[in-house]
Structure 1
Amino acid sequence: MDFGISTFVTDEGIRPDVLGEALEERGFASLFLAEHSHIPAGRQSPYPGGGELPRVYYRTLDPFVALTAAAARTSELVLGTGIALLIQRDVLHTAKEVASLDLVSNGRVAFGVGVGWNREEMANHGTDPTTRGALMDEQIEALKAIWTSERAEYHGEHVSFDPIFAWPKPVQQPHPPVYIGGESPAALRRLARHGDGWLPRSSTPGDEIRRVRDWLGEQGRENVPFTVFGGAADEDVIRRMAEAGVEHYTFMLPTRPEAETLAALDDLARLAAAHR
């Protein structure tokens, strides 16, 4: 099992270029960045973690800008979104952003997506929360068409466009892997149909990890990679995930200034080395 980092990059923490270089120097394989376009002042949706919404949610940098900065200071680090809120995004702009990042990084993008939880945030983008799953399924299909076709077109209930030209095309073939976040039945159906990888949280039981692996195999999807998103620095959890066959484990890194972050990364690097 290999190791990476999941985090929120904000205007108050370590710069993304410095972070990316520090991760590669310490042997980490990936960086997955969270996304929130904004937080509505009148939010009613409860924070899934319970209690007050953490400050970092209000201050996230655009993940593609931040990952581009990290790409410029690294050569091997996988550059991931964890997760991009695809249902709040224009599919044509997103196709170009992902392909552009894949091009400038020489094929290092992992595109993690999810439906999100903040209904007021969705509504401000014109997204109907009740149909967000169906929307995202069509968006993923449309993205793959744009990335792989010289003349792409797509016609669905929620996404529709006539033939278009869209460059650049991604470096990775046939396209950057699309990682599906979430453990719900709907997320798993999406994983089986559209996903190139799975982003379960570290709270997912090992038996469920194995069940999903077997279930995907029954559908001819034996080789879907699993990356644990936002895992704790807990040896028991790491062992449980390794025993369940997870290939990649990302630690949740708190958002702190540079010196504090580098010290925390030193500790996580030692833990990763003991279990790699």
Structure 2
Amino acid sequence: MEFGILMGDQPVASSAREHLDLMLRKAEAAQRAGFTYLTIGQHFLYDGFRWFQPVPLLARLAAELDDHVKIGTTVLIGPVHHPVVLGEELATLDVVTGGRLVVGLGTGYLPQEYATMGVPFDQRYRLLEELIEVMTAMWSQDRVSHHGRFWQIDDLPTHVHPLQQPRPPVWLGAMRETGVRRAARHGDVWTITPQQTIDQVDALIRTYAAERTSRGLPLNPLPLRRELMIGDGFDDAVARFAAVARGKYEAYAGRGMTLLGDDEVRNFGDTVRDHVILGDAETCRTQIADIAAALPVGPLLVRPHWPGMDAEQTEAYLEQVGREIVAPLRDLESRSFADFLETPAA
């Protein structure tokens, strides 16, 4: 089992220099702790929190990493980008990183980001599909012609190709069945979001596998995002998690993420119990091993930093998780897709 981290936002009250220093120290600490994937998402004009844009940030971080560590976008808000601009930037980033880029794409959930960019929010799924089609052609062909619903390219040369051919791995985020089917058709894997229970994930993986199999596409382990907090026991882990994460959960609810309602934010322990890995180190290892035994997943991506945590807290978290989770579970193998599909649904 490989492990990775999600590198997110920081309150705008902290300086940009402090924020960059946090990112550099986080990347160094994660690599030292045995994590092999470093990923970051994307937002624009975000209220109260600073999101560094992924492409330039990852290019900077790549200079600090060993050759076996991969970097990725989890996720870029694909539909607000022009595919030629984004395709060339990502191809360049793949070259800069020596072919270690993972391209995580999604649609986001904030209509105002689309309105600001002049992109129709109600067309975001069609835009995402066509964006992937154009970028894949740009990455793998010497000349491109594309006549689609949103973009037109008439037999033009391509000049920036990624090292990974025919394209860097494309991870597509989705939370519901329609999106999972889209990920099966247009991506290389579906990135499992952290809010879903194991039973929900089981059902959606079967949907994903059916769609892939019907098209003769290969089945590979699926990246699993999960929040993780180690404590002296369950209650202590919940208290520690609430201390750093409650504010972000409240911010999500305030921005209309429907999976988190007001009641769920108030009853925080009950809210997180079924989708966050919590407990002492042994209990957390057991939970991860149980997930790996049940589902064809990997890598496992965790969030080591919540807005407001400083670099020392983040480094301490990564050191602990590296020592008590990553190192002991390094040889853990997840369930194969073949074995998973041979058993009835949960």
Q: Report what 1:66 is aligned to.
A: 57
Alpha-carbon distance, 1:205 to partner: 2.9
Q: Deviations over 1:149-179 (max 9, x none)?
A: 1001211112222222232210111110110
Q: Report what 1:238 is aligned to.
A: 288
Alpha-carbon distance, 1:135 to partner: 0.7
Shift in CA distance, 185/159, structure 1 to aligned 2, threshold 3 Å? farther
Aligned residue-pair number = 260
Residues 1:104 and 2:111 aligned together: no
Asked if structure 1 preserves the Cα contact closer than 8 Å seen for 2:4 and 2:35, the reply is: yes
Alpha-carbon distance, 1:92 to partner: 1.0
Instruction: Please give the alpha-carbon distance, in whole angstroms, between the structure 1 residues aligned to 2:179 and 2:300.
Output: 19
Where in structure 2 are the equivalents of 1:175-190 lying within 5 Å? 175-190=167-182
| 1:221 partner SS | coil
Q: 1:116 aligns with which of 97, 108, 119?
A: 108
Instruction: Please give the alpha-carbon distance, in whole angstroms, between the structure 1 residues aligned to 2:222 and 2:37.
Output: 13
Q: Deviations over 1:21-49 (max 9, x none)?
A: 3222221010110111223x6xxxxxxxx
Instruction: Please give the alpha-carbon distance, in whole angstroms, between the structure 2 residues aligned to 1:221 and 1:240.
Output: 27
Shift in CA distance, 85/275, structure 1 to aligned 2, threshold 3 Å? same
Asked if structure 2 preserves the Cα contact closer than 8 Å seen for 1:30 and 1:80, the reply is: yes
| 1:154 partner SS | strand
Alpha-carbon distance, 1:238 to partner: 2.4
Shift in CA distance, 175/149, structure 1 to aligned 2, threshold 3 Å? same
Instruction: Please give the alpha-carbon distance, in whole angstroms, between the structure 2 residues aligned to 1:225 and 1:175.
Output: 18
Structure with max Cα Rg:
2
List runs of 5+ in structure 1 lacking aligned partners: 42-54
Q: Which moved more, 1:109-118 or 1:256-265?
A: 256-265
Asked if structure 2 preserves the Cα contact closer than 8 Å seen for 1:227 and 1:246, the reply is: yes
| 1:5 partner SS | strand
Q: Indicate the RMSD between aligned Cα atoms, in angstroms.
A: 2.0
Q: Report what 1:47 is aligned to.
A: none
Query: What TM-score, normalized by structure 1, do the two folds share?
Result: 0.87
Shift in CA distance, 208/250, structure 1 to aligned 2, threshold 3 Å? same
Query: What TM-score, normalized by structure 2, do the two folds share?
Result: 0.70
Q: 1:198 aligns with which of 168, 174, 190?
A: 190
| 2:224 partner SS | strand
Q: 1:273 aligns with which of 304, 327, 344?
A: 327
Alpha-carbon distance, 1:222 to partner: 4.2
Q: What amino acid is aligned across from residue 249 of structure 1 in structure 2?
A: L
Instruction: Please give the alpha-carbon distance, in whole angstroms, between the structure 1 residues aligned to 2:76 and 2:37.
Output: 16
| 1:274 partner SS | coil
Q: What amino acid is aligned across from residue 207 of structure 1 in structure 2?
A: D
Q: Deviations over 1:232-259 (max 9, x none)?
A: 3322652343121212101112243322
Alpha-carbon distance, 1:5 to partner: 0.3
More helix by share: 2
Q: What amino acid is aligned across from residue 241 of structure 1 in structure 2?
A: I
| 1:232 partner SS | strand
Where in structure 2 are the equivalents of 1:1-276 lying within 5 Å? 1-8=1-8, 10=10, 11=16, 12-13=18-19, 14-39=21-46, 55=48, 58-74=49-65, 75-215=67-207, 216-217=209-210, 218-219=213-214, 220-233=216-229, 234=277, 235=284, 237-243=287-293, 244-255=295-306, 256-270=309-323, 271-276=325-330
Alpha-carbon distance, 1:203 to partner: 3.1
Instruction: Please give the alpha-carbon distance, in whole angstroms, between the structure 2 residues aligned to 1:153 and 1:232.
Output: 46
Poorly superposed stretches of 4+, deviation over 6 Å: none
Give percent identity, aligned residues only. Answer: 27
Instruction: Please give the alpha-carbon distance, in whole angstroms, between the structure 2 residues aligned to 1:251 and 1:203.
Output: 12
Shift in CA distance, 269/131, structure 1 to aligned 2, threshold 3 Å? same
Instruction: Please give the alpha-carbon distance, in whole angstroms, between the structure 2 residues aligned to 1:272 and 1:180.
Output: 25
Alpha-carbon distance, 1:227 to partner: 0.6
Instruction: Please give the alpha-carbon distance, in whole angstroms, between the structure 2 residues aligned to 1:37 and 1:131.
Output: 19
Q: What amino acid is aligned across from residue 65 of structure 1 in structure 2?
A: P
| 2:327 partner SS | helix
Q: Deviations over 1:95-144 (max 9, x none)?
A: 11111111011111111011111101111111111111011110011110
| 2:297 partner SS | coil
Alpha-carbon distance, 1:145 to partner: 0.5
